[in-house]
Each structure stands twice: as structure tokens, then as C-alpha cells.
Amino acid sequence: MLVKNSNYLKSSVKELDNEIIFDPTESVFTNPSLPLTSDTISKCWKIYRYESSDGDDYEKIYISASEYNPKTDKKSFNYKKLNKIITITDLKLDLQNRVIELQEHYLSQISNILLHQSTDLQIKHELNHITEDIRKAITKLEDLETNKAQTVLKELLLRSYKEALEKINSYYPNYLPKISKPFLSIEDEKLNEFIYSDDLKKFKQLELNLISSSWVEVKGGLLFWKKNKNKLVDLGRFLKEKKILRENKLVPKFIRFLEERYNIDTGDQAKPNKYEKRKLKSYDYEFLLE
């Protein structure tokens, strides 16, 4: 393999955890790679020791990270607690910045090493190995079962790997075959589940209109809904009315997709017995399709 010991390509849950879980017993500092969430993550560690007062009965005593002694004490990470208390939008921002950093370093390594290859055949051989490694990582990641926090990193990495393949293909067009069918981003793959193929461009333009009208804000490469919850719910209803949403897809499920896409939780407002009580004001959304 050309790029050895890379932290970029991941194919196991353990490797995902290495990017997310910050162990407070290993340093007095928070994780600089996760400035928004490292404090929350460190609170999900259980650090303890067993002590006996009479020589027979032992009691579990919880201790601070600074008191931890690896020879006598124990520690465990509570993912259930993390998934309950973590702010997913903050985790996305932290991990997205980390993934961008990893990708840039990985592509830089490739560029620097290829400069020292003496023949076109060597370059082509190395690039074929690199692209094959990335494809293998994509396949393995797609098959992984992950929890809420791990899924955030998994999807960011999958998007990054597909983007990296396209970049490598464009940087070295004379050494690699063209990608006959461009990779879809994770977002586009999910969009295809809900939106008719012929209407994808229409939806993308609608999204640009949402941004230009300040209904959606772009922050750190992520999208954030700025209007109230009912507006998002009714956007889903509007797209169903306009037959942009696939006929076999239910509105509540599509609303949940929009929640994830725009980083907002509408709670029980996505339930039909809630939103069907009010009339859909389609004219409030018509401008988005212009």
C-alpha cells in the first residue's frame, strides 16, 4: 500500500471510536479535534476502583480522571449516555472538520509520494492500489452497524471517500480510467429514496432558494433550518402535494429525513394527527419552486 499507517481509511467500529471517544485519563486537556463536544464525551466515561473498609466487602468507588491509576483502577465508556446527551449538530461540525483534515493530509501524502515515482507504469500501479483501498473502505463502512454517534462519522467518511476518489481521478486523468458514473454523495443517495430522479434538480434549486431566503443557514458545510418547526413539516407536505416526493413514500418519514438534513427536531409535529389539523398554505411555498 502506498500510503501507510493512514488514519483516514477506516473499516471498523473501533476505528470510528478512535476518532470520537476522548479518554480523559490520558491527558488533562480536552480533545482539540472536537472542540464543541469533547467535554460532553469525557463525561460519558465511568472511572472507578474497588475499595474495602473491612478487608472482605468491596465497594465500587467512582473517581475523577486525575485520580486514575491504570494499575489498580478501571474505566468504561457509556455510549448509551453519549447518544442521549450529545448535541448531534455539534458532533457533525466537529467530525466534519476532522474528516476534511484527514482527507487533505491523505491526498497530500499521495501527491508527495507520486512525485518520487520514476515511471508512468509505477504511478499507475500505485494509483490503482490506492483507489482499490478506498473502494474497499467504502464497502466495509457501508456494511457496518453503528449507533447514533458512530453513524455521524460513518456518513461523513463515506461522503469523503467518494469525493476523494473523484479528486484523485481528476488529478491524474492519464493514469486512471474515468469514473463512468459519478458517485452520489450520501445526501444525494438519500434524496433518491424520496425524490423522483427527474425532480432532483428542482429540489436542489428549491434548497438554494431556502438558503437565499434565509429559511436555511449554511454553517460549517452543514444546513440548519431557521424557521419554526411547522414550516419544515409543511414543506414536506407541500412537496408531497406537488408530487415531487415519491408516491410510495409517507410524509412523516420524509419529514424525518428533512429533520436530519436540516439539523432540527420537530418532535411530534411530524405526526399526521398533529399537522392534519391545520390547512396547508401552499402559496407560502410556491416561490421556492421558481
Last residue of a domain, one of 68, 85, 102: 85
Domain that holds residue 222: 186-289
Q: Quote the Cα angle for 199-200-201, to 5°.
A: 95
For residues 223 and 271, state if they share a domain: yes
Last residue of a domain, one of 141, 171, 201: 171
Q: 3-state SS of 138-181?
A: HHHHHHCCCCHHHHHHHHHHHHHHHHHHHHHHHHCCCCCCCCCC
For residues 106 and 133, state if they share a domain: yes
For residues 76 and 105, state if they share a domain: no
Asked whether residue 5 is domain-assigned, the answer is no
Last residue of a domain, one of 145, 171, 197: 171
Asked whether residue 1 is domain-assigned, the answer is no
34 close to 162: Cβ distance less than 8 angstroms: no
Asked whether residue 42 is domain-assigned, the answer is yes
Identity of the residue numbered 205: Q
State the burial class of residue 12 (Cβ atoms within 10 Å of its Cβ: 0-12, 13-18, 19+): exposed
* φ, ψ for residue 218, nearest 5 deg: -100, 125
Structural domains counted in the chain = 3
Kindly give the confidence (pLDDT) of every residue in the chain, 290 residues in length, as a single tens digit, with 9 standing for 90 and above: 456 657 899 999 999 998 998 888 876 555 677 888 988 998 899 999 988 776 667 788 998 888 989 899 999 999 999 989 998 889 998 998 899 999 999 999 998 888 888 788 888 888 888 888 999 999 999 899 999 999 999 989 998 998 898 888 888 888 776 654 445 555 667 788 899 888 888 898 898 899 999 999 887 677 889 999 999 999 999 999 999 999 888 999 999 989 988 888 888 888 999 899 999 999 999 999 98
For residues 116 and 137, state if they share a domain: yes
For residues 276 and 235, state if they share a domain: yes
Q: pTM of the entire structure?
A: 0.71
